[in-house]
A = this chain, B = another copy of it.
Amino acid sequence: MTQTSSCNSTPLVSLDSLRANCASCSLHQLCLPMGLDETDMQRLDQIIGRRRRIAKDEILYRMDDPFNMLYAIRFGHFKTYQVNANGERQITGFQMAGELLGMDAISTERHQCDAMALEDSEVCEIPFRQLEDLFGHIPNLLRHFHRIMSQEITREQNVMLLLGNMRAEQKFAAFLVNLASRYQTRGYSSTTFQLRMSREEIGNYLGLTIESISRLISKFKKGGWLRVSNREVEILAPERLKAIAAGTATCS
């Protein structure tokens, strides 16, 4: 919290360390600079404003906030959610390191949802105007940006499939399988990980109640597919979970 320097005291950290440096970031194979050579990566670094820490439960941006930045998650987890006329919320996604936040705001120049940190997190601020200027000079960057937006469209289509078509146990299995695969991509265990979100948040995301989630966990435990203690999860039968998620098997 005291890492920023005031005007007349010795800086506790160098200013450079607050600036982004894609080349040295462990996520550059996953994040926006994917596939760029060293010089292009440096040009991208030059426009990336600063790293910003977001404490647990803090809000990165709110619906209707004017849009200036995209945010690349360096570490930590976020949730994005929409709020309807009644103040009810629907979580539209959980985001983790290497993923980009804010793309839904490009169209209207205002954010279309809230983004909240699920734990203490850090993001790189990417000024979108300057990023657009770079697109003209780095075709590879533009191409990868399109892939990222397209991927987000596909991700949301999969959630629509989940919400519209699946029964409760299938939804929950699909949720776990999805998390597992994303942790694997990031070099973490795909069978043992911590849930960063509460039961309530899982339920909201999946269109279920907290009680249903709790009952599903108990059912999966009894079935022997899963071990859960608080937010610590161990997947004991990944293939079985995948089959349940695909709808080719049930719990019974």
Tell me the number of copies of this protein: 2
CB pair A84 B161 closer than 8 Å: yes
Q: Are B163 and A107 in contact (CB under 8 A)?
A: no
With A104-B150, A150-B107, A207-B165 known to touch, is A157 a contact of B88 (CB < 8 Å)? no
Interface assignment of A160: CB less than 8 Å from any CB of chain B: yes
With A106-B146, A153-B152 known to touch, is A158 a contact of B82 (CB < 8 Å)?
A: yes
Q: Is the interface of A mostly helix, strand, loop or mixed?
A: helix
Q: Does B205 contact A147, Cβ atoms closer than 8 Å? A: no
B160 & A106 in contact (Cβ 8 Å cutoff): no
Question: Among B92, B153, B159, which residue has its beta carbon within 8 angstroms of that of A103?
Answer: B153
Bound Cα distance A105, B248 (Å): 26
Q: How far is the CA of A143 from the CA of B106 in the complex (A)?
A: 9
Which residues on A are within 8 Å of B, measured CB to CB? 82, 84-86, 88, 90, 92, 103-108, 112-113, 132, 135-136, 139, 142-143, 146-154, 156-161, 163-165, 204-207, 246-248
